[in-house]
Amino acid sequence: MKNILLIVIDTLRPDHLGCYGYGRPTSPNLDRLAAGGTRLDALWSVSNFTAPAFTSLFTGLHPHHHGVFDFTSQAASSPLAGVIEGNQMETAGVVTFRFFQNLLRNIWGPIEAVTDTRGFDFSKNLPLDVTASALEWLGARQQGESPFCLFLHYDGPHTPFRMPDEHADVFDSQAARGADPAVTDLLFPRAERLDPGRRKTTMFRFMKDVNWGRRKLDPATLQWIIDKYDAAVRYNDLAVGNLLAGLDDLGLSDDTVVAVLSDHGEEFLEHGGFAHGGIHLYEEVVRTVGIIRDPGKPAGGTAITRPTSQVQMLAALLEMAGAAGAPATDLGNLMAGSRQEPGPVFCHGKSKIAVRRGDHKLVVPRPNPSLDRITRLKMWINMARQRKLGSEIFDLARDPRETRNLINDKELRRGLQAILDEHLAAPVPGPLGNHDLSDAERRRIEKEMRDLGYM
């Protein structure tokens, strides 16, 4: 049986990588990995926000089944845990921030947060710290030990951008001159530790102001954001390249399935929205990176263009690794070369839900029923303020930028809505999320979010 190395780079858009056609050289190491493996061209996250996306990745459950929509919740268990235990796989993780330890506490093995052990929240070296810790863990293993599934989280190009100055200006462009200094100070803090008392705003407030139209991003400032985003992609690609080189040096590459994903993308005002986690479920935020190298298959740089979902990823990786009892999935079948058309894929935001069947995509306003009535009401008001109360249908083959709403096609709408209704009505295959955190633990997580500039 083979090992699994599962790498997730936060907030990484596939269309900002060379292997997905981007013009800037942001990803030489990921490009080489893709050239020797399989690239998923239409991989959907199950959410536009980190907490539900990661929980679905590790449980194989959609958000309306596991019930986790924020970092103060956690899944009670994972339906895939029995497969992992039955195959005597060792699970472990190295992550950037501490809140992942809470999120995955019941469904994964020991997890190191490098902000606790090797750095701090605004350290510029967090990606390199994750790689160093991972290689130490791999190097300490004894020959003949049970197969492992090691999960790594890189902060990626998530704002605020954290990287050394020598890496931050590699894509600076003339068009970004004159960017708003208030935005650049917020999104690329120079201080190693921020004083919350001196901050005029927070990340959440800034995003809300942009999304609600209270704050405009001029072209120079938007270009500066994209330049820094691309520089952060390149910096994290360097860290992943060091990891893959270390895997070779340890003699583990021939026995390890490597998967590189992102949890969601990022909006740059393509549809009026900025960042992620808001009301939008457009492709720039729900389409994710999916690069998989299986040492049991010939290198070839193949691509799968049909829609796939991250909710099936862990099961598919277990199957590729040779785990007995791994459930069959559409994704696993496609990776094995099946030509059978896969089923629909779904994305659950807090405010909206989306389904894709083939090239057609339906997005429907639907504040999550697990939230309290006041919160749901605020979401309706938020969508009204942004003039996003209507449902939308797009043909992604003819209209990849999602500019032409086909909602008046009644037959198409009925078919997609029926698929969505069936999905939501399906019985829960596993336990709901556990929301019974202690007050002390909840306060600790909320403080971390404030320290990071989110609250």
Mean pLDDT by groups of 10 residues along the chain of 455 residues: 97 98 98 97 96 95 90 88 95 94 92 91 91 97 89 95 94 95 88 50 81 92 97 98 98 97 97 91 98 87 95 97 96 91 95 97 92 88 89 98 98 98 84 63 74 59
State the helix-helix crossing angle for 50-59 and 313-321, rounded to 10 degrees.
40
Tokens 């998967």, located at residue: 259
Q: How many CB atoms lie within 10 A of CB 377?
A: 12
pLDDT reported for residue 453: 57
Which residues pair with residue 261 across a beta bridge? 8, 290
Question: From CA 78, how far away is CA 66, in angstroms rounded?
Answer: 9
Contacts 24+ apart (CB under 8 A), 371-380: 371/69, 379/279, 379/350, 379/351
Question: What six digits make up the tokens of 431?
Answer: 């336990």
Question: What six digits make up the tokens of 302?
Answer: 């193949």
CA atoms within 13 A on the CB side of 225: 21
pLDDT reported for residue 455: 56
pLDDT reported for residue 53: 96
Domain chopping of the chain, boundaries: 3-451
What is residue 352's three-state secondary structure? strand
Q: Apex CA 211: angle with CA 207 and CA 212, to 5°?
A: 115
User: Cα separations (Å) of 86 from 12, 45, 71, 169?
Assistant: 33, 27, 29, 48
The phi and psi torsions of 225 (rounded to 5 degrees) equal -60, -45
Report the candidate in 224, 183, 230, 223 with the shortest Cα–Cα distance to residue 207.
183
pLDDT reported for residue 71: 84
pLDDT reported for residue 443: 79
Q: Name the CA radius of gyration of the chain, rounded.
A: 21
pLDDT reported for residue 370: 77
Tokens 């390249």, located at residue: 241
Task: Kindly state the DSSP code that residue 303 receives in the 8-state scheme.
Answer: E
Contact present, 353 and 69 (Cβ < 8 Å): no
> H-type helices in 287-438, by residue range?
313-321, 330-335, 373-385, 410-425
For residue 26, the Cα-to-chain-centroid distance in whole angstroms is 18
Contact present, 419 and 344 (Cβ < 8 Å): yes
Fold of the domain built from segment(s) 3-451: Alkaline Phosphatase, subunit A (3.40.720)
Report the candidate in 255, 254, 24 with the shortest Cα–Cα distance to residue 146.
255
What is residue 224's three-state secondary structure? helix
Report the candidate in 395, 387, 349, 356 with the shortest Cα–Cα distance to residue 370.
349
Report the candidate in 219, 264, 239, 233 with the shortest Cα–Cα distance to residue 171.
233
Question: From CA 367, how far away is CA 390, in angstroms rounded?
Answer: 13
Contact present, 413 and 407 (Cβ < 8 Å): yes
Residue-wise over 229-248: b if at least 16 C-beta within 10 A, else e? bbbbbbbbbbbbbbbbebbe
**Burial class (CB within 10 angstroms; exposed 0-12, middle 13-18, buried 19+) of 373:** exposed
For residue 200, the Cα-to-chain-centroid distance in whole angstroms is 29
Tokens 């895939």, located at residue: 80
Question: What six digits make up the tokens of 233?
Answer: 């992609």
The CA-to-CA distance between both ends of the chain, in Å, stands at: 44
Considering Cα of 446, then 447, then 453, then 455, what sign does the dihedral take? Answer: positive
Question: From CA 230, how far away is CA 295, in angstroms rounded?
Answer: 30
pLDDT reported for residue 198: 44
Question: What six digits make up the tokens of 453?
Answer: 């500039």
pTM of the model: 0.94
Question: What six digits make up the tokens of 425?
Answer: 């009505």
